Amino acid sequence: MNLKAILAIALCKLLRLLSRLLGRGGTAMPGRWALKLCPDLLARLSKNVKTVVITGTNGKTTSARIVEQAFREQGLSYLANRSGANLLSGVTTEFVMNCTLGGKMKKEYAVIECDEAATVKVFPQLRPQVVIVTNLFRDQLDRFGEVTHTLGNIRTALESVPEATICLNADCSLCSSLALSLPNRAVYFGLEQGAVPSRAKAALSDATHCIRCKTEYEYDYVSYGHLGGFRCPKCGYARHAADYAVTELIEQRSSGSTVAVSIRGEKQIAEINLPALYNVYNAIGALAASVEMGVEKEKALHALAVFKGGFGRMEAFQLGRADVRMMLIKNPAGCNQVIDYLEGLRNRFVLVICLNDRGADGTDVSWIWDAEFERLNSIAGRIEKIIVSGDRAQDMRVRLKYAGIPDASITVEHDYEKIVSSLETLETDICLMPTYTATLELREVMVRHCGGKQFWEG
């Protein structure tokens, strides 16, 4: 380490300490200042750290928590950017917090969640061993532009690290196309036809036409959105066989799933400690990455059965006598998966939807019109009431009204404290669906009422 790097480390540690003393999360700011002093600080620190990076539209946080659990099962010493600071600055802060003042790393491994747009800056410094691309969906259009632009970002980032193994979602025609033009070793994960609940083809697709020749894809099966057994009838681009495959959904419960998996042809049964189909994807992707990082299969499988959901991602709380699930929503595909989960619930529940339109949410809330809230009508008998909140509560109310939900069953309440207090005496289940910035605020109130950790404590 040269003098500049040492000074940058000291400054970063000091700023982080100050921001914690002031009671702030402050994970990005210290790293930003450190990088101003020493622009290649992350490259210097991460040089001998074996790193797995998780990127993609949906499922980053949950996948990262599963990989972490697998690392713990294997007894590896690792660091992780658990607080959602997933840009270059936040990742740098995390590395600095795990090194000595002289710049010597205290951990051998790292589990890093990386924003898709930040991959171009982060990858060349971090030089990961393994990269998971979970999936690509239309998300926060005003921030990232077209989904193909996001795909281009990830491709450029991967071009800088040809030695990295990429774990690609075989069922996503967008992200598995990365293997067509990159020299990286690719492994695939996905759901086989037997693991997909038989349901009519989903109406919503973010990728209807072949990424190579623009011909409309044909599908053998669709799991959700544009994910499934796709094939182009003209150029032959098609779903790649999955090395890590879920072959059968044996049981789906409100608390988790039991599935049959095939790990490079070897059959196993896996318990997944979170409900909903999208978490089956997160589980198989994280399993693939963990094994590729050197975790033993048995330990990686055990991790699926015992990991805990990440911040606001199917996170469970106990509020009085009510079971609460907090499920972050941020785009149509992810939101439809939460609605899928609601459809599968057997108990009566109260639904709280919090819609914000701040920077991190995407300032354009028109995506709610693409999410299938109409499907709530089929389970109206089990919905006790719906509370809408957040900066754009009225937009959400209008959306539900157009979906055919009677206005009388919808309450608008902006004060989270009042909402949580009113729920405290209930005995029905509670489902919370906040957008990203609403998750931060609503979760703080929930934590205060239920007891728990603040987010920067991980």
| Contact status: 213 vs Zn ion (CB under 5 A) | yes
Candidate list 42, 210, 259, 342; residue touching Zn ion; CB under 5 A: 210
Query: Taking Cα atoms as reference points, which of 218, 167, 225 lies closest to residue 196?
Result: 225
Stretches 97-105, 228-236, 319-327, 410-418: which one binds Zn ion (CB under 5 A)? 228-236
Per CB under 5 A, which region of 179-187, 227-235, 272-280, 357-365 contacts Zn ion? 227-235
The bridge status of strand 244-252 relative to strand 109-113 is unpaired
Among 17, 18, 235, 250, binds Zn ion (CB under 5 A): 235
Site map for Zn ion, 237-266, x if CB under 5 A?
x-----------------------------
Three-class SS of residue 7?
A: helix
Least distance to Zn ion from the beta carbon of 332, Å?
Answer: 25
Q: 123-152 mask for Zn ion (x: CB under 5 A)?
A: ------------------------------
**Which residue lies nearer to Zn ion by CB, 14 or 235?**
235
Single out the segment in contact with Zn ion by CB under 5 A; choices: 17-25, 69-77, 78-86, 236-244: 236-244
- Cβ distance to Zn ion smaller for residue 215 or 425: 215
Residue matched to tokens 């040269």: 2
Chosen residue from 212, 231, 308, 385 binding Zn ion by CB under 5 A: 212
Distance (Å, whole) CA 91 – CA 70? 21
Nearer to Zn ion, 17 or 235 (CB): 235
What is the residue whose two structure tokens read 């997909």?
A: 196
Nearest Cα neighbor of 275 from 287, 260, 257 is 257
- Residue 168 CB, shortest distance to Zn ion, in Å, is 18
Of 213 and 380, CB closest to Zn ion = 213
Number of residues that bind Zn ion (CB under 5 A): 8
Nearest by Cα to 76 from 95, 51, 101: 51
Decide: is 231 part of the binding site for Zn ion (CB under 5 A): no
| DSSP sequence for 58-117 | S-HHHHHHHHHHHHHHHT--EEE-TTS--SHHHHHHHHHTTB-TTS-BS-SEEEEE--GG
200: left (phi over 0), alpha (psi -120 to 50) or beta: beta
Interacting residues of 64 by C-beta distance below 8 A, sequence separation 6+: 54, 80, 82, 111, 112, 113, 286, 310
Tell me whether residue 36 or residue 234 sits nearer to Zn ion (CB atom). Answer: 234
Q: Is 172 left (phi over 0), alpha (psi -120 to 50) or beta?
A: beta
Among 45, 67, 232, 291, binds Zn ion (CB under 5 A): 232
CB of 145 or CB of 236, closer to Zn ion: 236
Q: Single out the segment in contact with Zn ion by CB under 5 A; choices: 72-80, 229-237, 280-288, 420-428.
A: 229-237
Query: Minimum Å distance from CB 155 to Zn ion?
Result: 18
List the structure tokens of 112. 């890093």
* Of residues 431, 221, 434, the one with CA closest to residue 344: 431
Region near Zn ion per CB under 5 A, out of 30-38, 233-241, 324-332, 424-432: 233-241
DSSP string, 281-304: HHHHHHHHHHHHTT--HHHHHHHH
First to last CA, the chain: 29
**180 is an interface residue for Zn ion by CB under 5 A:** no
Q: Which residues form the interface with Zn ion (CB under 5 A)? A: 210, 212-213, 215, 232, 234-235, 237
